[in-house]
Amino acid sequence: MMTAKNAAEFGEGAALIMTSLHTSYADIHGNIGYWHTGLNPERAEGYDPRLPLPGTGQAEWTGRYLPNASVINPAKGFVTGWNNKASPDTRNPDGENPDYQFGRHHRALWLLRALGDAKNMDLQANQELMKYAGGAGTYYPQHNAYGILCKDFLPALSSAAQSAGAQDKPLLNKMLQVLSAWDGRSVVDVVKDDRFQAGHTIFLEWLPRAVKATFEDEFAGIEDFQLVRSSLFNLFLRCIDGSISTLPVSRNYFDNTNTPDIETVDDIFLKTLLETAGVLKEKFENEDPVSWRAPRSKIIFKHNMFGPVAEMWDNNVGTYIQIVELRPEGAVGYSRWPLGQSGQVSLGADNKPVFDAHFFDMLPHYQNYTYQKMGLD
C-alpha cells in the first residue's frame, strides 16, 4: 500500500489486510477512495451468524471470503466515517460494546451532514469541521452525540405537551421552543464555552427518563439505564417511527406491562417531560428554559501512578487528529495529540512527579484545536 502508484494498486494492498479497518486513500491528482479491510468468512447459507450454530458440521464456513465495501471517487465528492459500519448491508462485527451496535443513528451523521454542502474545503475549513464535530457531544454521557436527531422527536413531544394541564403547558412549550431552535450540539464554541447549550441540558435530562420509562418493564435487570446506550437508542427510534420504520418493532414498548392500562407514546413523553421540567426548574431556580445551561464537564487526564495531571473541556473528538494536504509538490500534514507521548516522568526529591519538559507539548494544541505541523516535507 505504501508503494502504490494509484488507487487500484492501493486497493490491491488493502485486500491483503486481515483485520477490520477503515482505510482511506487520496493522491495529488485529486483521486480519493475508501476500503473496508478484513477477511470476512462466508457462512453457510440458511444460518444466522448472530445465533448459536448446531455444531454438526452443516454450518461450517465455505472457505470463501465475502467482498468488502469500497469506493473510488464517489459522486458526492468525499468519503467520511466515525467508527460507523462500512455500508448499510455490512454486518455489525461481533462484540459486546453496546455503544457499537448500529442502527438509524450514528455520530457519523454529524460529518455526513456537515460535508454534504461543503465545496473545495481547504486546511482552515477542515480545522473548523473538527471544531464543529467536537462540540457535537461529550465523551460522557453523550458519547454518540444523539442531539443530531432531537428534531425527530419534536412532533411526538409537541403532541404529548398538548395533553398537559393548563398550569404545566406554558413551561413545556418554552422547553420545546428551546429544543426546536437547538442545533443539536452540546456547545457552540468547543474551545471556550464553560456551559452546555440549554437544548443539551434539556434533552440530556429528558432522554434517559423517556428511554427508561419505555423499556424498564421489558429490560429490568438487563439494562441499568444510567446511560442511553446506542443499541437502546436505536430501538427507541424504531418505536417512535412505528409502522414506517424500516424494521418495525414487534410490540408496543410504550405500554407498561405491569399496569392494566395501555400506555402510548404520548403518555410516556408527557410523563417524562413533566419530570424533566420539575427537575430543571428546581435545579436552576427559575422557569426560563433558555437559561438552563448546565456547567460543562471536563476530561481529566490521569496518570496510572500519579493521578490527575491535566484537564480540558469535555468534547466528542478522537485522541489523535491529523489533517494531510496532498499538494502537487507533496504531502503536508498537521496533527493534534492530547499529551506528549514519550515524555519522561520521574520522582523528585520530595517524591513528587517531575515531568519531562516535552510531556505537555501537545496538550495546548489538543485543548485549543490547533495543530502541530508534521515532518512530512
Residue 369 has pLDDT above 70, yes or no: yes
At 105 the three-state DSSP class reads coil
pLDDT band at 346 (very low <50, low <70, confident <90, very high): confident
Residue 158 has pLDDT above 80, yes or no: yes
281-322 confidence digits (pLDDT tens) = 999 999 999 999 999 999 898 888 888 989 999 988 788 899
Q: Which three cell numbers stand for residue 148?
A: 443530531
pTM listed for this prediction:
0.89
pLDDT band at 192 (very low <50, low <70, confident <90, very high): very high
Q: Find the mean pLDDT for residues 119-135.
A: 92
At 112 the three-state DSSP class reads helix
105-118 confidence digits (pLDDT tens) = 888 899 999 999 88
Residue 96 has pLDDT above 70, yes or no: no
Element (H, E) at 364: helix 363-368
Q: Which residue has the higher pLDDT, 250 or 88?
A: 250
Q: Find the mean pLDDT for residues 237-243.
A: 93
Q: What is the total residue count of the chain?
A: 377
CATH superfamily of the domain spanning 146-291: Aminohydrolase, alpha-helical knob region (1.10.1400.10)
pLDDT of residue 341: 59
Share of the chain above pLDDT 90, in %: 64
pLDDT of residue 320: 87
Residue 255 to residues 215, 249, 263, 290, Cα–Cα distance (Å): 9, 13, 4, 32
Q: Which residue has the higher pLDDT, 198 or 232?
A: 198
Q: How many CB atoms lie within 10 A of CB 344?
A: 11
Q: Find the mean pLDDT for residues 228-234.
A: 87
Q: Which amino acid is at 375?
A: G
pLDDT of residue 97: 67
Q: Where are the domains of the chain?
A: 1-79, 146-291, 319-373
